[in-house]
Amino acid sequence: MSESHEQTPQELAAEAARVIAELSGIEKHDIALTLGSGWGKAATAIGEIVSEIPAEQVPGFHAAAVVGHGGKLTSIRMPDGRHALVIGARTHFYEGRGVRAVVHGVRTAAAAGATTMVLTNGAGGVNPNYSPGQPVLISDHINLTASSPIEGANFVDLTDLYSSKLRDLARTVDPTLDEGVYVQFTGPHYETPAEVRYAGIIGGDIVGMSTALEAIAARQAGMQVLGFSLITNAAAGISETPLSHAEVIEAGREAEPKLASLLSQIVPLLP
């Protein structure tokens, strides 16, 4: 007699990882990356593309919601023979599919064998020292989504969530890399100027709509996390001009070659 059984998020991730292994022919991926606005070009700079899998073919993934946000999973052979999995199908909290969907890519990466998770995004700068087009290491986060990807009484430690060792490694490639605290808002609206001031007062440097929940899930899955924000715009009220999505996309496009070069030098150093 079989009992009815709800599939856990980890079981769904394991199923997705099996499909990725089958379709790519790569049994184990060592490193995983989620590439946000501006970071997409990095995929081809890291190594040779082995396989591109449309997200819809992998259990638990959905087609991309935002134009310019990938929609495929890419398996890449690195020069040293290891494999990287690029999750080009990020689900955002504001899509309303729930937190499980938001972190499914990270859990799938862990199930595929990845021990290091590189999370990147395009974001707004709160810290007045930042300029549009600048990549910033994420040193820590403040999660303002009022939610968690962890289910049940599972008290996961988040000390050094954005590994200081991996940040040091990144700075061996570019010693000028600044770092800051990422504040995840739910979006999809940008912040009000008052919310941006608040983010700064509570210790934030960067505002965005992703990454924090994913980083928590990565830590739960036992992965090391390296986080990067591309500052695409000064956050609302930091500069006089209103924010526009077109401007954000344009800043991302302009920074792409620089970011691809940066990641292509850092990723081979990652454990």
Rounded to whole angstroms, how far apart are CA atoms 17 and 11?
10
Rounded to whole angstroms, how far apart are CA atoms 59 and 26?
17
191 as an active site residue: the answer is yes
Q: What does each C-alpha distance from 74 to 11, 32, 34, 216, 230 come to in angstroms?
A: 21, 10, 10, 23, 21
37 vs 163, which CB is nearer to ligand 8IG?
A: 37
Shortest Å, Cβ 106 to ligand 8IG: 19
208 sits near ligand 8IG (criterion: CB under 6 A) = yes
Rounded to whole angstroms, how far apart are CA atoms 89 and 108?
12
Collapsed DSSP state (helix, strand, coil) of residue 143: strand
Which candidate, 219, 246, 257, places its Cα nearest to that of 40? 257
- Fill in the per-residue mask, 214 to 253: x = in contact with ligand 8IG (CB under 6 A), - = not in contact: ------------------xx-x-------x----x-----
137 sits near ligand 8IG (criterion: CB under 6 A) = no
Shortest Å, Cβ 191 to ligand 8IG: 6
Rounded to whole angstroms, how far apart are CA atoms 271 and 224?
9
Stretch that binds ligand 8IG, among 12-20, 41-49, 121-129, 148-156 (CB under 6 A): 121-129
102 sits near ligand 8IG (criterion: CB under 6 A) = no
* Residues paired with residue 184 on neighbouring β-strands, in sequence order: 143, 208
263 sits near ligand 8IG (criterion: CB under 6 A) = no
110 sits near ligand 8IG (criterion: CB under 6 A) = no
- Fill in the per-residue mask, 184 to 203: x = in contact with ligand 8IG (CB under 6 A), - = not in contact: -x-x--xx------------
Rounded to whole angstroms, how far apart are CA atoms 203 and 236?
17
Shortest Å, Cβ 30 to ligand 8IG: 29
60 vs 124, which CB is nearer to ligand 8IG?
A: 124
φ/ψ of 141, rounded to 5, equals -140, 165
Quote the tokens at residue 55: 């997200």
Rounded to whole angstroms, how far apart are CA atoms 52 and 73?
6
Which listed residue (191, 195, 214, 256) is catalytic?
191
* Residues paired with residue 74 on neighbouring β-strands, in sequence order: 52, 86
Block residue for tokens 């729930």:
98
Q: Contact with ligand 8IG (CB under 6 A): which of 122, 135, 149, 200?
A: 122
* Residue closest to ligand 8IG when measured from CB atoms: 124
38 vs 47, which CB is nearer to ligand 8IG?
A: 38
138 sits near ligand 8IG (criterion: CB under 6 A) = no
Q: Work out the end-to-end distance of the chain between its first and last CA atoms, rounded to an integer number of angstroms.
A: 45
Rounded to whole angstroms, how far apart are CA atoms 86 and 196?
31
39 sits near ligand 8IG (criterion: CB under 6 A) = no
135 vs 208, which CB is nearer to ligand 8IG?
A: 208
Which residues have a catalytic role annotated? 191
Q: Which residues in this chain contact ligand 8IG in the complex, by CB under 6 A?
A: 37, 122-124, 185, 187, 190-191, 207-209, 232-233, 235, 243, 248
